[in-house]
Amino acid sequence: MADIRKILNQISAQEMQLRDRQFLAPCVRGGAVKTRVAHIIYNFAPKPHNFEGWGIFQPVDEKIAEVIDEPNLPQMAEYLKLLQPMRLRLAYVLRGKTWLAYPVNESDAKQRFGIAKPVAVHLVNDGATFEQIIARWDGGSWWFDECDRRADPLVPEQLKEALKKVISPAELRFKGVTPEMRTIYDLVAQQAKEFAAQMQQKRDEKRLISALRQGGGELREFRDRNDHWLVEWTTADGEFHSSAISKNDLTVVSSGICLSGRDRDFDLQSLVGVMEGNRD
Amino acid sequence: MSIFFHEQRYRTSEVMAQIRDFAVTICGAGALGANIAESLARSGFGKLKVIDRDRIEEHNLSTQPYYRSDIGAFKAKMLANSLYRALGVNAEAQSKELTSANAAQLLNGTFLVIDTFDNSVARQAVKDYCETAKLPCLHVGLGGDYGEVIWNELYRVPSPANDDVCDYPLARNLVTLTVAVACEVMITFVATQQRQNFTITLRDLAVKPFA
């Protein structure tokens, strides 16, 4: 049976040596850095405390390790080589150098890591939205390794183009598009403010067109006026009207003709009939 | 099989062993320096150092082995990273300006200096230091439609006029031809200690009809 005192003494001696050791580790802002001695993991707060990146650390005491140098690429590569790689596609920045990413191949991800979901990848110092990368798993976090040189560079271009044209994820079409590409596109589209605004505008336009069409009218243009839209539309025989319509329920805020203060009794759909009746 | 299989068949194992351990410092990581570094690494040179203070700009991409995504990064660092990724060659990158004050420190431990700097002040600093330290130094330069590969003892630093500008005519084929000549001169030097000097123009390319 092993002598427990002897083992504890060994660990204690190794702990003492830890102060004199330098170690290489990745660090996210506000996170801790880790090193392992005698199969025991030691956590340190980085100094400076807001450090983010790859560093060579030297323990100052049992709680703090100071950044003393920046590792070069071969040193980082040696560290990363010990971790399991996976191909992912970048979505958007979550915080600092941490990005949300999604596996390029769901089936591969499930088989090797038991997951196929969006993950946070830390210390992304290269790449952009929709670009394919290789990240590595240390059992707790994904760390950026490099941009995937095997990836087709046209795919991110096509996805960006689709985003610019406000194509919905369901309508995304190009040669070679995969379900994983649709998923990442959906993730980015949900997040992109410009896209969201444009999507909202498209939805609003559809809603107005539909309401007017049911009454026999046709939308010409509409403008956003905070709580209402200024809708320019024509009746079936081409007569032009401008009406203020509530965004909430399409009730009439101001019809453009005198409705004796009863404007709010009507909505856009019924207003078409009112206008046509008024003319008769 | 080594990644230098074909090169080894051409050069012999003895020469390959010599160049693997031959420390070369390349001053400049632009059209000449970056392409020379890449050629040397792909030829089997295993101990390379690159010194360049500049960052990658869009107009560099036609003549220098960088990517669009590298724009804004330090040339020396990106070059070292790319050599490591491509070949596993661990080149040392120094993103610093070489001056007469730090030349000794930056060129320390090297067997051969390659000068490809784009300005006369830096070229003079390299020439002077190598002369004093008796360090072999090969100057590689371009001017209009002319390229030259000249050892330190014959080299004259050009006039500082028109130095360090980016708006000049430059043909990629002249760059690659000059790079090839310079690299061949270096390998000859390592293998035989012979110091060849050359001037190059695109007209030196002898293209003859096959008949």
**Euclidean distance between CA atoms B124 and B117, whole angstroms:** 10
Which positions ≥6 away from A87 have C-beta within 8 Å? Answer: A103, A104, A105, A108, A132, A133, A134, A148, A151
Query: pLDDT tens, A169-221?
Result: 888 999 999 999 999 999 999 887 767 776 777 788 889 999 999 888 899 88
First to last CA, chain A: 105
- Percentage of chain A beyond pLDDT 90 is 48
A70 contact B CB<8A: no
Nearest to A74 by CA among B37, B82, B3: B82
Task: Return the higher-pLDDT residue of A121 and A3.
Answer: A121
pLDDT digit string (tens) for B172-206?
999 999 999 999 999 999 999 999 999 998 876 66
Q: Which residues of A touch B80 (CB under 8 A)?
A: 72-73
Q: Do A74 and B69 touch (CB under 8 A)?
A: no
Residues B104, B110, B113, B114, Cα dihedral to 10°: -120
Q: Is A43 on the interface with B (CB under 8 A)?
A: no
Beta strand extents in B9-111 (DSSP E only): 23-27, 47-51, 92-94
Q: Peptide bond before A48: cis, by omega within 30 degrees of 0?
A: yes
Distance from CA of A74 to the nearest CA of B (A): 7
3-state secondary structure at position B209 = coil
The stretch A71-81 carries a mean pLDDT of 93
Report whether pLDDT(A280) > 90.
no
Which chain B residues are within 8 Å of A126, Cβ to Cβ?
A: 69
Q: What pLDDT is stored for residue A256 in this prediction? A: 64
Minimum Cα–Cα distance from B94: chain A residue: A72
Q: How far apart (Å, rounded) are the C-alpha atoms in residues A61 and A59?
A: 6
Report the percentage of chain B scoring pLDDT > 90: 78
Q: For residues B147 and B177, is the Cβ–Cβ distance under 8 A? A: yes
Of the residues A54, A70, A72, A80, the best mutation for testing chain B's interface (the one with the most B CB atoms within 10 Å of its CB) is A72
Domains within chain B, CATH numbers bracketed: 5-209 (3.40.50.720)
**In what helix (H) or strand (E) does residue B142 lie, and over which residues does it extend?**
strand B137-143
Determine what percent of chain A is predicted with pLDDT higher than 70: 94
Interface ipTM > 0.85:
no
pLDDT digits (tens, 9 = 90+) for B120-170: 999 999 999 999 999 999 999 998 788 999 999 999 998 776 566 667 778
Closest listed residue to residue B197, CA positions, set B149, B137, B140, B141: B149
Confirm or reject contact between A73 and chain B (CB < 8 A): yes
Average pLDDT over chain A reads 87
In a mutational test of the A interface, the residue from B70, B79, B81, B95 whose CB has the highest number of chain A CBs within 10 Å is B81
On whether any CB of chain B is under 8 Å from the CB of A7, the answer is: no
Pairing of strands B146-151, B137-143: antiparallel
Please answer yes or no on whether B84 and A146 come within 8 Å at the CB atom.
Answer: no
Structure tokens at B82: 């790319």
Q: Is the pLDDT at A260 greater than 70, yes or no?
A: no
Asked if the C-beta of B90 comes within 8 angstroms of chain A's C-beta atoms, the answer is yes
Q: What confidence tier does B207 reach under pLDDT thresholds 50, 70, 90?
A: low
Say if A84 is an interface residue toward chain B (CB within 8 Å): no
Tell me the C-alpha distance between B92 and B51, whole Å. 9
Give me the residue spans of the domains in chain A. 2-71, 83-191, 197-279
Least CB–CB distance from B84: residue in A73, A126, A127: A73
Average pLDDT over residues A25-38: 88
Q: Assign residue B34 a region: left if phi > 0, alpha if psi is -120 to 50, beta otherwise?
A: alpha
pLDDT at residue B77 in the model: 93
Q: Which residue has the tokens 């990106």?
A: B78
* Closest listed residue to residue B111, CA positions, set B49, B194, B38: B49
**Tokens 């320019």 belong to which residue?**
A232
Distance CA A92, CA A106 (A): 19
Torsions phi, psi of A210, nearest 5?
-65, -45
Residue-level pLDDT at A251: 87
Q: What is the pLDDT of residue B93?
A: 95
Question: Which of B69, B84, B93 comes nearest A126 by C-beta?
Answer: B69
Of B76, B88, B85, B95, the residue nearest B37 (C-alpha): B76
Inter-chain CB proximity A74 and B84 less than 8 Å:
yes
- Provide the token pair at B65: 């082995």
Hey, are the CB atoms on A73 and B69 less than 8 Å from each other? Answer: no
More reliable by pLDDT, A254 or A100: A100
Beta strands in chain A (DSSP E): 23-27, 33-37, 40-47, 53-59, 64-69, 84-95, 98-103, 119-122, 132-137, 142-147, 218-225, 228-234, 240-246, 252-254
- Chain A contacts of B93, Cβ < 8 Å? 72
A72/B69 Cβ within 8 A: no
Distance, in Å, from the CA atom of A230 to the CA atom of A244, rounded to the nearest integer, reads 5
Please, what is the Cα angle at A116 between A174 and A156, to 5 degrees? 30
Contact (Cβ atoms closer than 8 angstroms) between residue A129 and residue A160: yes
Q: Give the pLDDT of residue A92.
A: 94
Checking if the pLDDT of B82 tops 90, the result is: yes
- B84/A contact by beta carbon, under 8 A: yes
Global pTM reads 0.73
pLDDT recorded at residue A257: 66
CATH architecture for segment(s) A83-191 = Beta Barrel (2.40)
Interchain contact, A147 vs B84, CB within 8 Å: no
Cross-strand bridge partners of residue B208: none
Q: What is the b/e burial string over B33-52, where b = at least 16 CB atoms within 10 angstroms of the residue's CB?
A: bbbbbbbbbbbbbbbbbbbb
Contact across the interface for B80 and A73, Cβ inside 8 Å: yes
Is B69's Cβ below 8 Å from some Cβ in A? yes
Q: How many CB pairs under 8 A join A and B?
A: 14
